[in-house]
Amino acid sequence: MNLPPLSYRHQSRHILASFFRSLENVDPWWVSIDCPVNGDHSTKLSSVLGYEHEVGLEFLVGTGLIIRRHEQNPSYSVVKKGWEMLIVAHGLQDIMEGINRTRVDAVNTLFIYYGNKAKLRHIPSDQFDTKKP
């Protein structure tokens, strides 16, 4: 039986889910979905995926997990429902949860974490807030 080929969006989501699944035994770590935290580009999901920032954002646009709002000066919106669907459809509930919106150093940031969910003991502000002792 021949199955129809997966769309680019489904292929991209499958690749992303496989990437997260490969990290299921590492200690949990929060990453920003769309912007650097405190100017540190290593805190972005695109960096963790190994992409330059703009390339990573375009990959996520291809997955349908973020939407590009403007062509000239792009801004992006995170599709929370898309992330929830990715997690459920690919059985990632043991290593991921839905989007976490947290205020870090006066900026609202959308985070996702990867790693062993059972080991998750901190929230994004614990990991990134420079004002904490």
Kindly list the domain boundaries of the chain, sorted by start residue.
8-117
Q: What is the pLDDT of residues 117-129, one digit of tens each?
A: 888 888 888 888 6
Q: Return the pLDDT at 47.
A: 93
- As a whole-number percent, the residues of the chain with pLDDT over 90 amount to 44
User: What is the overall mean pLDDT for the chain?
Assistant: 87
Q: Look up residue 10 and give its two tokens.
A: 């489904």
0.75 cut: is pTM over it?
A: yes
Q: Contact 111/100 with Cβ under 8 angstroms?
A: yes
The band of 133, judged by pLDDT with boundaries at 50, 70 and 90, is: very low
Asked whether the CA dihedral 101, 107, 112, 115 is positive or negative, the reply is negative
| CA 10 – CA 54 distance, rounded (Å) | 21
Residue type, 28: P
Q: What is the pLDDT of residues 57-78, one digit of tens each?
A: 999 999 999 999 887 787 889 9
Q: Contact 30/110 with Cβ under 8 angstroms?
A: no
